[in-house]
Chain A
Amino acid sequence: GQNIDQPTEMTATEGAIVQINCTYQTSGFNGLFWYQQHAGEAPTFLSYNVLDGLEEKGRFSSFLSRSKGYSYLLLKELQMKDSASYLCAVRDRDYKLSFGAGTTVTVRA
């Protein structure tokens, strides 16, 4: 089975930077995904990491360290619309995707 931990809640100010950490323990590793989910809506794909390092996509970046079982999602220049839940998901050696409980980010003016 998988064990995926991420903080429950984070609050930040508009224009600031927030880093959401995710640690995991898996039976094999075949990639890590970050999803964004607004209240009452479907999760939408943000990023994918399979090799160590940083992947940058506009205001969002995701980092992976496989040896440490660690990833983070970095949200820059926060906007009010970034208030949402952010889900860390890990794919194991059987290609099964397991999700963390999600981090609710609240952006304040």
Chain B
Amino acid sequence: ETGVTQTPRHLVMGMTNKKSLKCEQHLGHNAMYWYKQSAKKPLELMFVYNFKEQTENNSVPSRFSPECPNSSHLFLHLHTLQPEDSALYLCASSQDPGTGSYEQYFGPGTRLTVT
């Protein structure tokens, strides 16, 4: 238990569906992140929020839409996804995105399958 929770843990959706992934951190951190993890590939950073402001959008397609209503909650809204979007989506948080040895704490991830 890292203090970062994600729901749902598993999601199967069709290409025409709209769904949302939720992340919550109970660590009092200021920064939150979305990553995509595909089999045998490096973790890919998707979005970074620092104090609720988006500071990084790593060339992510617009079918992925993040939302950060406060420093503790992060959402990833999904619509008209493609089968190649099937992956493990990990949320993480950290005290500060930059300085010092502040490591990122990861949630357990949402295993997404697009059919």
Contacts and interface: CB of A to CB of B under 8 A. Distances in A.
Contacts of B107: 42
Interface string A76-107: 00000000000101010001111111100000
* Size bracket of the B interface: 20 to 34
A48 B103 CA distance: 8
A44 B42 contact: no
Interface in B30-88: 40-43, 45, 48, 56
A33 B90 CA distance: 17
A54 B110 CA distance: 35
B88 to A, nearest CB: 9
A96 B45 contact: yes
B45 A102 contact: no
A102 B4 contact: no
Residue with the greatest number of chain B CB neighbours at <10 A, chosen from A35, A91, A98, A99 = A99
Interface of B: 2, 4, 40-43, 45, 48, 56, 90, 97-99, 101, 103-109
Interface of A: 4, 8, 30-31, 33, 35, 41-45, 48, 50, 87, 89, 91, 95-102
